[in-house]
Structures are given as C-alpha cells and as structure tokens.
C-alpha cells in the first residue's frame, strides 16, 4: 500500500473497508479505481472472515463526484470508443456487483455523491448520509443523462421526484436523501467515525444505534407540484406547467432546466420513462447503448468542456433552446 493508491482497502475486525482516495478530484472514479473495487469485492465475496463491506470517500468534501468525465470526453473526441466502452462496461458491471452482493454493503456518505458516486452507493444495502451529504444526478448539466443505473433508480423514487432530480440536476441534502429513499440512515458527521468503528465491532447492528431522527423533508410542500409538473408527457409541457405554477420553487426549477442541455432534457425524459419497466441489468444495458448515441451529440463534449475542463459554465448548446429541439432527432438516438 502506498500513499498514491486511489483505492485503499483494508480489513478491520469482521468488515472489509474501501476508501475512494482521490480527494483532490472529489474521489471521481477512473478505470483503475473501478478495477480495484471490483477486484476486492470478488476477493471478499468468498472470504469467510469478511461479513460486510464499508465504503467511504477520502477527505471531507466528497464521497465520490462521479466518473472520470474528462477521460470520457477525450475518448469520445478521439474517434476511438474502445476505452470509453471499456470504462462504462466495467463501471456498470460494478454497479451490478454491488446491487447483487451477497454480504451487507454500507456506504458512508459525508460530502457530495453524484453520478458514478450514486452508482457506488445507492445500489448497495445501506447508505448512511450526514448533514454534509449532497446527493445528485447532474448529468443533464454536462449534456449527458443519468446513467450508472440512474434510469432504474430515479423512476423508483416517490412520485416524480426522480424525474425532477434527473432533469434539473438539483442536489438534495442527506436528510432529504433519506426521505427520498436514496439513503437509508442519517448520522451526523460528528458521530461518523464512531459509527465506522462500531461497524467493525458490531456489524450492521451499529447502523440502527447511530441512526438519528430526521429533520423534515424540505421538499414535502413541493411534492404535489413536482408530481404535477414532472408527470407531463413531454419536456415543453413540463416547462409550461412550471410556468403556470409560478412559485419560487417553480422559478428555480425553470432556471435549472433553462441552464442544462436542451437535448439532454429530451433524451433523459425518454430514458427515465423507459427505465420504469426495466430491471437493473436491462436498464444498464440500455444505458450502455445510449452512451454511444448521446455522447456523439456535440452537447456532451461541450458540456464537459464548460463545466469541468474550462469551468466557464457557459456551454454553447446545439440547439440552445428547449423549444428548438427536434423530437425526431432525439427518438433516433434510441435506435430503430
Ligand atoms: C455534472 C456532472 C459531473 C460533474 C459536473 C457536472 C460528473 C463528474 C464530475 C467530476 C467532478 C470532479 C472531478 C471529475 C469529474 O463533475 O459526472 O473528474 O475531478 O464526474 O456539472 O455530471
């Protein structure tokens, strides 16, 4: 083990520990990290001394900010999809491994948890969130769509909450994530170290002992509006319903929708509606196919450029307006 390891694994009592250790990159996942996690999960699957797995992120800013989106952009722009396909294949297989893991898999989430980070946590049995957790699927902001099983997870949140989160890219805090079903337990940061130690001693029984009363769901008063606006059949109707709503919440949602890739709104809506009826494996396979077609759209490279590479936060979307997206062009991305 060296200090450069981007994934640190260890045994502690009867648990196996995984630390995503790229704190300067907000623990974003590269291929080496995916492989290290997959390898240790295979080792521990059959290890009679490991009863459960606990995963966390290094540093106090992030559990995991997502995938290595610069690498994916570079691969896409190179014209050779080999490395990009390999990344998604291994990432989605790891999501599936976590979802079907035979031993308790517990993610401790104390900081941002977005995109690929959701895939590394929410498919597992237990997700403990602190008051510093921030859960989100912000892919429309970079001209992509909620992958890593997001098309399976989001349609299964209460009402149209998942469509709201997936289209707007809005982030929710740790307590709200428990209310929404993305997290299972709420433990303050001040007690997380003690919880982590207790897991090694007592196993998953420690989860209940450290679970604290939840603050109210901050979106409780918005649930009816979310369900009404985001159940509209198409993107322009969602916009029209938000405009008709007129509340401060609706204004914020509209502002978010007008900032993200208009084309990504269209393909995300279709992908999330389709995911309602798929199991996780089929959803991941459908997402894999969709990575090929959506990433070939100019908005992906432009979105990553604007938000992650140059950080000017001024993407030049094509088309630039929701009203100008051609639904037939989006439908074609889903195959014949
Ligand atoms: C939307 C996203 C991502 C994002 C920013 C967005 C995303 C992602 C990253 C990210 C963050 C830090 C890193 C890194 C990538 O940022 O998916 O390599 O060091 O992974 O607005 O979807």
In short, whether 214's Cβ falls inside 6 Å of ligand 1 is: no
The predicted model gives 260-273 an average pLDDT of 98
Q: Which domain holds residue 173?
A: 1-336
The predicted model gives 43-69 an average pLDDT of 97
**Above 80 in pLDDT, residue 289?**
yes
In short, whether 117's Cβ falls inside 6 Å of ligand 1 is: no
pLDDT in tens, 209-222: 999 999 999 999 99
| Structural domain count, the chain | 1
Interacting residues of 269 by C-beta distance below 8 A, sequence separation 6+: 163, 167, 234, 235, 238
Q: ω into residue 139 within 30 of 0, thus cis?
A: no
Q: Which of 206, 189, 205, 185 is nearest to 197 (CA)?
A: 206
**Above 80 in pLDDT, residue 168?**
yes
Mutate to test the pocket of ligand 1, among 27, 68, 84, 142 (most ligand atoms within 8 A of CB): 142
Question: Has 159 been annotated as catalytic?
Answer: no
Whole-number average pLDDT of the chain: 97
Percent over 90 (pLDDT), the chain: 98
pLDDT of residue 110: 98
Cβ-contact 263, 325 below 8 angstroms: yes
The predicted model gives 56-79 an average pLDDT of 97
Instruction: Calculate how far, in angstroms, residue 188's C-alpha sits from the geometric centre of ligand 1.
Output: 25
CA 62 to chain centre: 13
pLDDT in tens, 14-51: 999 999 999 999 999 999 999 999 999 999 999 999 99
| 3-state SS record for the chain | CCCCCCEEEEEECCEEEEEECCHHHCCCECHHHHHHHHHHHHHHHCCCCCCEEEEEECCCCEEECCECHHHHHHHHHHCCCHHHHHHHHHHHHHHHHHHCCCCCEEEEECCEEECHHHHCCCCCCEEEECCCCEEECCHHHHCCCCCCCHHHHHHHCCCCHHHHHHHHCCEEEHHHHHHHCCCCEECCHHHHHHHHHHHHHHCCHHHHHHCCCCCCCCCHHHHHHHHHHHCCCCHHHHHHHHHHHCCHHHHHHHHHHHHCCHHHHHHHHHHHHHHCCCCHHHHHHHHHHHHHHHHCCHHHHHHHHHHHHCCCCCCCCCCCCHHHCCHHHHHHCCCC
pLDDT band for position 336 (cuts 50, 70, 90): confident
pLDDT in tens, 70-122: 999 999 999 999 999 999 999 999 999 999 999 999 999 999 999 999 999 99
d(CA 189, CA 175): 12
**Above 80 in pLDDT, residue 2?**
no
Question: Has 282 been annotated as catalytic?
Answer: no
Nearest CA to ligand 1 atom 17: 66
In short, whether 287's Cβ falls inside 6 Å of ligand 1 is: no
In short, whether 113's Cβ falls inside 6 Å of ligand 1 is: no
**Above 90 in pLDDT, residue 305?**
yes
CATH of the domain at 129: 3.90.226.10
pLDDT band for position 66 (cuts 50, 70, 90): very high
Residue 278 buriedness (CB in 10 A; 0-12 / 13-18 / 19+): middle
pLDDT in tens, 187-203: 999 999 999 999 999 99
Q: Which of 26, 30, 44 is nearest to 18 (CA)?
A: 44
pLDDT in tens, 292-302: 999 999 999 99
Torsion, CA 204, CA 205, CA 210, CA 213, rounded to 10: 100
pLDDT of residue 257: 98
- Letter string b/e over residues 294-326, b meaning 16 or more CB atoms within 10 A of that residue's CB: bbebebbbbbbbbbbeeeeeebebeeeebeebe
pLDDT in tens, 170-191: 999 999 999 999 999 999 999 9
Output the pTM of the full model.
Answer: 0.97
pLDDT of residue 4: 67
**Above 90 in pLDDT, residue 313?**
yes
């Amino acid at each position: 083990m060296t200090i450069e390891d981007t994934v640190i694994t260890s045994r502690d009592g009867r648990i196996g520990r995984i630390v995503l250790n790229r704190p300067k990159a907000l623990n974003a996942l590269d291929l080496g990290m995916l492989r290290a996690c997959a390898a240790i999960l295979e080792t521990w699957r059959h290890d009679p001394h490991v009863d459960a797995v606990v995963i966390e992120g290094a540093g106090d800013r992030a559990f995991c900010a997502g995938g290595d989106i610069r690498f994916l952009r570079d691969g896409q722009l190179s014209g050779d999809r080999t490395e990009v396909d390999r990344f998604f294949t291994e990432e989605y297989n790891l999501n599936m491994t976590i979802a079907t893991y035979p031993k308790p898999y517990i993610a401790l989430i104390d900081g941002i948890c977005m995109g690929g980070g959701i895939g590394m946590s929410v498919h597992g049995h237990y997700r403990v969130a602190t008051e510093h957790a921030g859960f989100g699927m912000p892919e429309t902001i970079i001209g992509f769509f909620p992958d890593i099983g997001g098309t399976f997870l989001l349609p299964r949140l209460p009402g149209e909450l998942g469509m709201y989160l997936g289209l707007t890219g809005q982030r929710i805090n740790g307590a709200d994530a428990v209310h929404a079903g993305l997290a299972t337990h709420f433990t303050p940061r001040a007690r997380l170290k003690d919880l982590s130690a207790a897991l090694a001693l007592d196993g998953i029984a420690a989860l209940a002992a450290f679970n604290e009363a939840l603050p109210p769901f901050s979106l409780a008063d918005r649930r009816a509006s979310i369900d009404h606006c985001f159940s509209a059949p198409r993107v322009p109707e969602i916009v029209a319903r938000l405009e008709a709503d007129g509340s401060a919440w609706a204004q914020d949602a509209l502002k978010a929708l007008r900032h993200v890739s208009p084309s990504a709104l269209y393909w995300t809506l279709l992908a999330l509606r389709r995911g309602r009826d798929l199991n996780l494996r089929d959803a991941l396979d459908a997402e894999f196919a969709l990575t090929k077609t959506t990433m070939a759209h100019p908005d992906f490279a432009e979105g990553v450029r604007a938000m992650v590479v140059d950080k000017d936060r001024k993407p030049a979307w094509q088309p630039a307006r929701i009203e100008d997206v051609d639904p037939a062009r989006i439908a074609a991305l889903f195959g014949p």
